[in-house]
């Protein structure tokens, strides 16, 4: 399977190129980064520590799309939307790991997915997706007497907050308790905020050093506290998930998919 990676010069782009190199049956045929990037024209293999691959970094994706590859995109929301539009136009499968889409951008993604196979997931790791699958039943079993707080920690370079994963975790719990996250979500606290409202769902973002990604989901009751913690040790976990998602996606019908579909968590009853 031929793959084009968008955001090749980024932290995730490099990790994905290295996983593609180690994975049988897939090969990197195209490498894209932003216009005016100093990396344009450089060899993607040399850029990502793999040695020469003969794939120059370009700011144009179209020349590769005629060969019907699959796209893996980890860039930023406006750029990803451009690649999703082109995937729809050329009817090629696309996996997007970018986070921070606005509700309007999500509506456009849903519309575009009528034309081709699209998978958009804020977290491609098996562990986080397992957690997402479990949390709905945990929340329903515990009942609404528990206070939920989600704390996420990422590296200092991360641009969006809270993380897409923290939002996905929060909306899973809100959904299980039939609450609207837009109404009950509390994204940080300061000053005399008063007693915690029963229905609040707290989401707090920490930015420190080179932390790859950590999420804690805390259910606080009277007399006990339950915590679920996921720590990503390296970006390889996300990169492996992205390549696995692309291999899975090419075999599906057009439509919008998530990592829960790839990992078959629905079939084993972990999600609704």
166: closest CA among 183, 149, 180? 149
Tell me whether residue 47 or residue 184 sits nearer to ligand NAD (CB atom).
47
CA dihedral (21, 24, 30, 33) positive or negative: negative
Applying CB under 6 A, which of residues 4, 79, 131, 168 lies at the interface with ligand NAD? 79
Q: Which of 98, 113, 258, 271 binds ligand NAD (CB under 6 A)?
A: 98
**Checking DSSP bridges between strand 201-207 and strand 185-186, what pairing results, if any?**
parallel
For residues 92 and 184, which CB has a smaller minimum distance to ligand NAD in the complex?
92
154 as an active site residue: the answer is yes
CA nearest to 209, candidates 152, 167, 158: 158
Tell how strand 147-154 and strand 201-207 pair up.
parallel
37 binds ligand NAD (CB under 6 A): yes
Residue 30 to residue 7: CA distance in whole angstroms: 11
Give one word for 68, left, alpha or beta, with left for phi > 0 and alpha for psi -120 to 50.
left
Q: Of 99, 116, 172, 260, which lies in the binding site for ligand NAD, with binding defined by CB under 6 A?
A: 99
Question: Under the criterion CB under 6 A, does residue 133 sit at the interface with ligand NAD?
Answer: no
Choice between 217 and 243, CB closer to ligand NAD: 243
Query: Least separation, in Å, of the C-beta of 219 and ligand NAD?
Result: 24
Residues in 189-248 that interact with ligand NAD by CB under 6 A: 238
What CA–CA distances, in Å, run from 15 to 6, 22, 39, 158? 12, 11, 16, 16
Distance CA 238, CA 132 (A): 15
Which of 4, 7, 31, 245 binds ligand NAD (CB under 6 A)? It is 7
Task: Single out the catalytic residue among 42, 154, 215, 230.
Answer: 154
Q: Which residue is closest to ligand NAD by CB?
A: 10
Strands lying side by side in the sheet with 213-220 = 185-186, 201-207, 147-154, 213-220, 225-232
| Residue 169 lies near ligand NAD (rule: CB under 6 A) | no
Site mask for ligand NAD (CB under 6 A), range 56-75, x = bound: ------------------xx
Marked catalytic residue, from 21, 91, 158, 272: 158
Q: Does 28 contact ligand NAD by CB under 6 A?
A: no
**Coil, strand or helix: which one is 239?**
helix
Binding mask 111-130 for ligand NAD (x = CB under 6 A): ----------xxxx------
* Minimum distance of ligand NAD from residue 9's CB (angstroms): 4
Q: Per the structure block, which two tokens stand in for 54?
A: 């003969």
Active site (annotated) includes residue 36: no
Alpha-carbon dihedral 78, 68, 53, 246, rounded to 10 degrees? 70
At 236 the three-state DSSP class reads helix
Which residues carry out catalysis?
154, 158
Footprint of ligand NAD (CB under 6 A): 6-7, 9-13, 32-34, 37, 74-76, 79, 97-100, 121-124, 238
């Amino acid at each position: 399977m031929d793959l084009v990676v968008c955001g090749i010069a980024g932290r995730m782009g490099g990790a994905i190129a290295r996983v593609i190199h180690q994975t049988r049956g897939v090969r990197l045929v195209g490498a894209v980064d932003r216009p005016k990037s100093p990396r344009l024209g450089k060899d993607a293999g040399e850029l990502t520590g793999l040695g020469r691959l003969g794939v120059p970094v370009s700011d144009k994706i179209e020349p590769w799309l005629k060969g019907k590859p699959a796209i893996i995109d980890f860039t930023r929301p406006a750029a990803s939307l451009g690649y999703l539009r082109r995937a729809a136009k050329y009817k090629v499968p696309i996996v997007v790991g970018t986070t921070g889409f606005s509700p309007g951008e999500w509506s456009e993604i849903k519309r575009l997915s009528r034309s081709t196979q699209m998978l958009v997931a804020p977290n491609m790791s098996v562990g986080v997706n397992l957690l997402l699958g479990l949390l709905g039943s945990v929340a329903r079993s515990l009942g609404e007497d528990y206070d939920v707080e989600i704390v996420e920690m990422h590296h200092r370079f991360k641009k969006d907050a809270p993380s897409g994963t923290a939002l996905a975790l929060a909306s899973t719990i809100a959904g299980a308790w039939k609450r609207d996250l837009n109404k009950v979500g509390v994204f940080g606290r300061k000053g005399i905020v008063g007693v915690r409202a029963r229905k609040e769902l707290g989401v707090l973002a920490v930015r420190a050093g080179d932390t790859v990604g950590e999420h804690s989901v805390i259910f606080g009751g009277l007399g006990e506290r339950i915590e679920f913690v996921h720590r990503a040790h390296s970006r390889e976990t996300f990169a492996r998930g992205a390549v696995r998602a692309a291999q899975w996606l090419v075999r599906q019908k057009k439509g919008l998919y998530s990592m829960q579909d790839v990992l078959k968590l629905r079939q084993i009853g972990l999600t609704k």
